């Protein structure tokens, strides 16, 4: 494990029956639901700013505007996935996340996700609150390392 791994936000997610197709493998759209829950946990526990709290108190929403996803190996019903999240870029109104899910050290899913902070009042991009920018920095990954880890398209 390199230095960048130390700063990841991490959670274990059990693959449940409802995540799987008839063959007992994770049905790929379910990964997006897992990612969504995992990112909500990151806001709550990693950034100390719950997504519902941001919405109710600051009228800020954080929709996803971009995903790039790879599924190097399939995942079975009952597997325990370790999800890791790093911030690879934090801009004025958006942030780039790198998310990896692995089972016993074997990569099962990698994703790049871009979140935009939007003012619910006007429906336009808004600045990321400064306290969140500094908390996001704790989960920073070296972009060079992160870029190298993304498997090249075949």
Please say if the pLDDT value at position 152 is more than 50: no
- C-alpha 14: how far from its chain's center? 16
Q: 53-107: per-residue pLDDT in tens?
A: 999 999 999 999 999 999 999 999 999 999 999 999 999 999 999 999 999 999 9
* CA–CA separation, 9 and 62 (whole Å): 18
DSSP 19: G
Q: Which two tokens stand for residue 41?
A: 């946990």
How does strand 94-103 pair with strand 60-61? unpaired
Please say if the pLDDT value at position 147 is more than 60: no
Confidence band (pLDDT; 50, 70, 90) for 128? very high
- Beta-bridged to residue 11, according to DSSP, are 83
Q: Which two tokens stand for residue 78?
A: 């009952």
Q: Determine the pLDDT at residue 2.
A: 42
Please say if the pLDDT value at position 45 is more than 70: yes
Rounded to two decimals, the pTM is 0.86
């Amino acid at each position: 494990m390199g230095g960048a791994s130390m700063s990841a936000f991490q959670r274990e997610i059990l693959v449940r029956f409802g995540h799987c197709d008839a063959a007992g493998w994770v049905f790929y759209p379910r990964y997006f639901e897992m990612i969504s829950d995992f990112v909500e946990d990151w806001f709550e526990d990693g950034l100390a700013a719950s997504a519902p709290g941001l919405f109710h108190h600051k009228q800020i929403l954080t929709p996803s505007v971009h995903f790039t996803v790879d599924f190097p190996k399939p995942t079975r019903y009952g597997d325990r996935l370790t999800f890791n999240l790093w911030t690879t870029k934090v801009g004025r109104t958006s942030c780039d996340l790198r998310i990896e899910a692995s089972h016993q050290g074997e990569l099962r899913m990698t994703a790049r996700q871009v979140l935009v902070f939007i003012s619910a009042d006007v429906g336009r991009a808004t600045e990321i609150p400064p306290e969140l920018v500094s908390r996001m920095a704790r989960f920073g990954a070296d972009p060079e390392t992160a870029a190298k880890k993304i498997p090249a398209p075949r």
